[in-house]
Amino acid sequence: MRISLTRPLVLYPVSIVLGLGVWEALAQVMPRALFAPPSAVLGRLAAMTGDGSLPTALLGSVQHMLVGYLLAALLAIPVGIIVGRSTAIATAVEPILNAVYAIPPVALVPFFMIWFGLYFEGRVALVFAMCFFEILINVLQGVRNIDRGLLDAARSLDLTGLALYRKVVIPAASPFIFTGLRVGIGRAVNAMITAELFFSAVYLGQMLKTSSNAFDIASTFAVIFVVSLFGLACQEAMRLAERVVIPWHHESTA
C-alpha cells in the first residue's frame, strides 16, 4: 500500500514535467495563432485564478456535470445489473442499446434543446446522455462476466434474492462497475464543457467561447487545460474510491 501510494506521487510530477516539455517543443513548430506554449498558458491560468474568474466558472460548471453524472450512475448501475442478469431483457434491449449508442450525442443537441430547453436542464440531459451508456455497458459486461461456477456455488449455499446480489453479483462485478464509473466521470467532464458550448454559453464554456472569439489562444488552452486537469482529478478520485472498496484490484500491480 505504501509503495503504490508514493509511486504516483513521484511519477506524476515527472510525467507532467516531461509532458510540458513535449508541449513546449510542439509550440515551437506550430503556428502561434493556433497553438500556445505552456509558459503562456500557465501565465493566463495564474491570472484567471488570481482574479477569481476561473474558480467561479468551474464551480458553476460542476453543478450540471455532477447532477447529470449522478443521475446516469444511479440509473445505469441498477439497470445494468437487471439487464445483465436476465437473458430475456438483455435480448430485448440490446439492439436498441447498440443503435442509440452509435449516435453522436452532439447530433442530438437540437432535439435536447426542444425537449429540455437551452439552460440547466438541457445541459444536464447532455451530460447524462454522454456518460450513461459507458457506465451501463461496463456494468452489463461485469454482471455477465460472473463465473457460472461462482453462481452455482452461491445457490448451493441457498443465497437468493437480494443477498445473492449483495454478496455475490455486485462484488464480482465491481471491477467492471468501477471501470464504468471512472470512464463515465471522464465522459461527464467532457460533456460538462460540451454542453456549455452547444447550449447557451455559460461558465467555463462562456470563457472558452469568449477567448476563442478574441483569438486568445493562451486563454483557450488554459480553459481546456483546467478542464483536463479537473477530469484527471475526478478520475483519480474514482481510483481512490475503487482502492478503498475493492483493495485486491489495486494490490495486484504492486
Partner 1 sequence: MSTQKMTRRAAMRLIAGAPLAAGVAGFPTVTHAADTVKCINLGFVLGIHCPPTFGILDECPKLGLQVEMQRFQRMRDALQTISGGTGDIGISEPIMLLQSRQAGNDIVIFGNHYLHTTLVVVVNTDYIQTWKDLEKPDVTVGINSQGDITQVMTIGGFLKHGGDLAKVKWADVGGSGTRVRALLSKRVQATQVHFDQVPEIQKSGNYKVLLVPHKEYDPWVNEVVFARTDWLKEPANRKKAVTFMKGIIIASRKATADFAYYKNTFVKYATLKEKDTMPEAEIRAHWNVLSREIGVWPTDNAFRLSNFEKLLPYYRAAKAIEDKPIDLKAATDFTIVAQALKELG
Partner 2 sequence: MSRGKAWALRLAGIAVFVLGWEIAGRIFGDALFAPFSAVIAGFPATVRDYHLFAELAGSLRQLLLGYLLGCIVGIVLGIMMGRSALLDGLLQPWVSMMFVTSIASLVPLFIITFGFGLMFRVTIVFMAAVWYVLLVTYHGARSVSPDLLQTARAFESSRLQTFFKVMLPALYPYILVGMRIGLAHAIRAMVIAEMYVIVGFGGVVYNAGVEISTVSLLGALLTIMLVGVALNEALKWFAHRTAPWYSERQQLSN
Residue 215 contact, options partner 1, partner 2, none, Cβ 5-8 Å cut-off depending on partner type = partner 1
Measure CA 142 to chain center. Answer: 18
How many residues lie near partner 1 (CB under 8 A)? Answer: 23
Residues 6+ positions from 205 with CB-CB distance below 8 Å: 61, 193, 195, 196, 197
How far, in Å, CA of 51 to CA of 205, rounded?
Answer: 18
- The answer to whether residues 208 and 191 touch, using CB atoms and an 8 Å cutoff, is no
Residue 16 contact, options partner 1, partner 2, none, Cβ 5-8 Å cut-off depending on partner type = partner 2
Q: How many C-beta atoms lie closer than 10 Å to residue 195's C-beta? A: 32
Report 224-253 residues binding partner 2 (CB under 8 A): 224, 227-232, 235-236, 248-253
For the CA atoms of the chain, what is the radius of gyration?
A: 21
- Residue 73 in the binding site for partner 2 (CB under 8 A): no
- The answer to whether residues 204 and 89 touch, using CB atoms and an 8 Å cutoff, is no
- Residue 18 in the binding site for partner 1 (CB under 8 A): no
Report 181-210 residues binding partner 1 (CB under 8 A): 198-201, 209-210
Stretch that binds partner 2, among 50-58, 66-74, 139-147, 157-165 (CB under 8 A): 139-147
Measured from the CB atom, is 63 or 206 closer to partner 1?
A: 206
Q: How many C-beta atoms lie closer than 10 Å to residue 179's C-beta? A: 20
Residue 229 contact, options partner 2, partner 1, none, Cβ 5-8 Å cut-off depending on partner type = partner 2
Measured from the CB atom, is 71 or 201 closer to partner 1?
A: 201
- Residue 25 in the binding site for partner 2 (CB under 8 A): no
Helices (H), 165-216: 170-198, 203-213
Stretch that binds partner 1, among 70-78, 212-220, 222-230, 245-253 (CB under 8 A): 212-220
Q: Least distance (Å) from partner 1 to the CB of residue 79? A: 29
- Residue 24 in the binding site for partner 2 (CB under 8 A): no
How far, in Å, CA of 153 to CA of 201, rounded?
Answer: 55
- Residue 189 in the binding site for partner 2 (CB under 8 A): yes
Q: Angle, nearest 10°, between helix axes 105-116 and 170-198?
A: 70
- Residue 111 in the binding site for partner 2 (CB under 8 A): yes
Short-list 89, 90, 251, 85, CA closest to 154: 85
Report 110-149 residues binding partner 1 (CB under 8 A): 110, 113-114, 117-118
